[in-house]
A and B are shown apart, each in its own frame.
Chain A
Amino acid sequence: MFFHNFKYTFKILLKNKTLIFWTIAWPLILGTLFNLAFSNMSNSEKLNTISIGVIKNETYKNDQYLSSTLEELGNKESDSYLLDIHYAEKEEELKQKLEDKEIMGYIFCGEETKLIIKENGMNQTIVKYVIDQVEEYKNLVTGLTQTKVEEEMQKGNRVEVSQIYQNIMSKIGENKEYTQNIANTNMDYMMIEYYTLLAMACLYGALLSAETIKNYMGNINKKGARVTLAPIGRLPLLLSGLLASFIVQMVSIAILLLFTTFLLKVDYGTRTNLVLLLSVIGSLAGLSLGTLLGSISFKSDNTRIGISNIVVMAGCFFAGMMGVVTKYMIDKNIPLLNKINPANMITDGFYALYYYEDLGRFYFNMASLIIFTGIMILASYYFIRRKRYDSI
Chain B
Amino acid sequence: MTVFRNYFRILKKYIGIIIMYTAILLIFSVSIVLTGSGGTNSFTASKPKVVILNLDKETKVTENFMQYMRENAEIIEIENDAQKLDDALFYKDINAIIYLYDGYTEDFLQNNNKKIEVKQGTDASSAYTNMLLEKYFKVADIARSTITNEDKIVEAINQSLEKETKVEIQSTLDSASLSKASYFYNFSNYSMLSICIYVVSMILFRFNEEKVKKRNLVSSKKYRSITKELFLGNLIFGIIAWLCLVALSFIMIGNSMFSMNGIFFMINSFVFMICTLTIGFLIGNIFKSSSAINGLVTVLGLGSSFITGCFIPVDFLPEVVVQFSKILPSYWYIHNNELIKTIETFNFESIIPLLINMGIVLCFAVLFIIVSNIIAKRKK
Given A132-B165, A136-B161, A144-B156, does the pair A187, B115 have CB atoms closer than 8 Å? no
Question: A37-B312, A171-B142 are contacts. A128–B119 as well, Cβ < 8 Å?
Answer: no
The segment from B2-10, B56-64, B303-311, B361-369 found at the interface with A is B303-311
B175 touches A119 (CB 8 A): yes
- From 112 to 144 in chain B, residues with beta carbon under 8 angstroms from any chain A beta carbon are 113, 115-125, 127-128, 130-135, 137-139, 141-143
Contact of A178 among B92, B133, B321 (CB under 8 A): B133
Q: A377: CB under 8 A from chain B?
A: no
Given contacts A45-B123, A136-B139, contact A189 B92 (CB under 8 A): yes
Q: Is the CB of A172 within 8 A of B142?
A: yes
Interface residue count on the A side (C-beta < 8 Å): 81
CB of A21 within 8 Å of the partner chain: yes
- Interface contact A36-B161, CB-CB below 8 Å: no
Cα of A356 to Cα of B162 in the assembled complex, Å: 40
Contacts of B124 in A (CB 8 A): 45-48, 122-123, 126
B171 CB contact (under 8 Å) in A41, A119, A178, A331: A119
B243 at the interface (CB under 8 A from A): no
Q: For residue A118, which residues in chain B have a CB less than 8 angstroms away from its CB?
A: 169-171, 175
**What residues of A have a CB within 8 angstroms of the CB of B134 in the complex?**
177-179
B contact residues around A180 at 8 Å (CB) = 115-118
Q: In the complex the two chains form, is B115's CB within 8 Å of A177's CB?
A: yes
**A47:B145 contact, CB within 8 angstroms:** no
Say whether B302 faces chain A, with CB atoms less than 8 Å apart.
yes
CA distance A112 to B146 in the complex (A): 29
Across-interface contacts of B139 in A (CB, < 8 A): 136, 140
For the complex, give the distance between the alpha carbons of A30 and B301 in Å: 11
B117 touches A182 (CB 8 A): yes
Q: Which of B81-97 contact A (CB under 8 A)?
A: 83, 86-93
Cβ contacts under 8 Å, B121 to chain A: 183, 187
Query: Of the 9-residue stretches B37-45, B279-287, B328-336, B372-380, which lies at the interface with chain A?
Result: B37-45
Contacts of A188 in B (CB 8 A): 122
Q: Give chain B nearest CB distance to A228 CB in angstroms.
A: 27
Q: Which of B156-201 contact A (CB under 8 A)?
A: 156, 159-171, 175-176
Chain B residues with Cβ below 8 Å from A129 are: 128, 131-132
Whether a CB of chain B sits under 8 angstroms from the CB of A59 is no
- A378 within 8 Å of B by Cβ? no
Interface residues of A: mostly helix, strand, loop or mixed?
Answer: helix
One of B147-155, B228-236, B258-266 at the interface: B147-155
Contacts of B318 in A (CB 8 A): 36, 39-40
Is A71 positioned at the interface, with any CB of B under 8 Å from its CB?
Answer: no
Q: Is the CB of A187 within 8 A of B163?
A: no
Whether B165 lies near A34 (C-beta < 8 A) is no
**A131 near B: Cβ within 8 Å?**
yes
Kindly identify which residue among B162, B299, B307 contacts A37, using a CB–CB cutoff of 8 Å: B307
Known: A129-B131, A172-B142, A331-B87. A40 touches B123 (CB 8 A): no
Complex Cα gap A295–B298 (Å): 27
| Contact A131 B127, beta carbon cutoff 8 Å | no
A233 within 8 A of B: no
Contact of A122 among B118, B128, B162, B168 (CB under 8 A): B128
B307 and A33 contact, CB distance less than 8 A: yes
Residue B77, interface by CB 8 Å: no
CB pair A42–B146 under 8 Å, yes or no, is no
Cβ-closest chain A residue relative to B155 = A147
Cross-interface CB contact of A33 among B115, B170, B306, cutoff 8 Å: B306
Please give, as numbers and ranges, the residues of chain A lying within 8 Å of B220 by CB-CB distance.
Answer: none
Cα A1 to Cα B301 with chains together (Å): 45
Instruction: Say yes or no: B43 contacts A120, CB within 8 Å.
Output: yes
Q: Which residue of A lies closest to B91 (CB)?
A: A328
A117 CB contacts on chain B under 8 angstroms: 43, 167-170
State whether A40 and B317 are in contact (beta carbons under 8 Å apart), knowing that A45-B122, A140-B156, A331-B87 are contacts in the complex.
Answer: yes
Chain B residues, Cβ within 8 Å of A120: 40, 43-46, 169, 176
Cα distance A289–B93 when bound, in Å? 33
A69 on the interface (CB 8 Å rule)? no
A98→B168 contact, CB < 8 A: no
Q: A151 to chain B: which residues have CB within 8 Å?
A: 147-149, 152
Which chain A residues lie closer than 8 Å to B132 at the CB level?
129
B167–A114 touching, CB < 8 Å: yes
Question: B315 — which chain A residues lie within 8 A by C-beta?
Answer: 44
By CB atoms of chain A within 10 A, which of B115, B133, B142, B168 has the most? B142
Report if A182-B147 is in contact (Cβ < 8 Å); known contacts: A113-B165, A128-B165, A129-B128. Answer: no
A331 to B84, CA, bound (A): 10
* B179 to A: closest C-beta gap in Å: 9
- Measured between beta carbons, the chain B residues less than 8 angstroms from A42 are 122
Which residue from B40, B295, B312 sits with its C-beta under 8 Å from A26?
Answer: B295
Closest CB in chain A relative to B249 CB, distance in Å: 20
Q: Are B147 and A148 in contact (CB under 8 A)?
A: yes
Is residue B291 within 8 Å, beta carbon to beta carbon, of the partner chain?
yes
The verdict on A189 contacting B91 (CB below 8 Å), with A37-B312, A125-B46, A128-B45 known, is yes
Q: A140 touching B46 by the CB < 8 A rule?
A: no
Chain A 103-161 residues near chain B, CB threshold 8 A: 112-126, 128-129, 131-133, 135-137, 139-140, 143-144, 147-148, 151
A interface residues (Cβ-Cβ under 8 A, vs B): 18, 21-22, 26, 29-30, 33-34, 36-42, 44-48, 95, 98, 112-126, 128-129, 131-133, 135-137, 139-140, 143-144, 147-148, 151, 164, 167-168, 171-172, 176-184, 187-189, 302, 322-325, 327-328, 331-332, 355-356, 361
Q: Can you offer 7 A-B residue contacts whose CB atoms are under 8 A? A: A45-B124, A46-B122, A117-B169, A179-B137, A183-B89, A187-B121, A325-B92
* A26-B299, A47-B128, A132-B164 known, 5 other contacts, Cβ within 8 Å: A120-B40, A121-B46, A124-B43, A181-B118, A189-B91
- Report, nearest first, the 8 A-B pairs whose CB atoms are least far apart: A178-B137, A328-B91, A140-B160, A183-B119, A47-B127, A135-B163, A180-B115, A139-B160
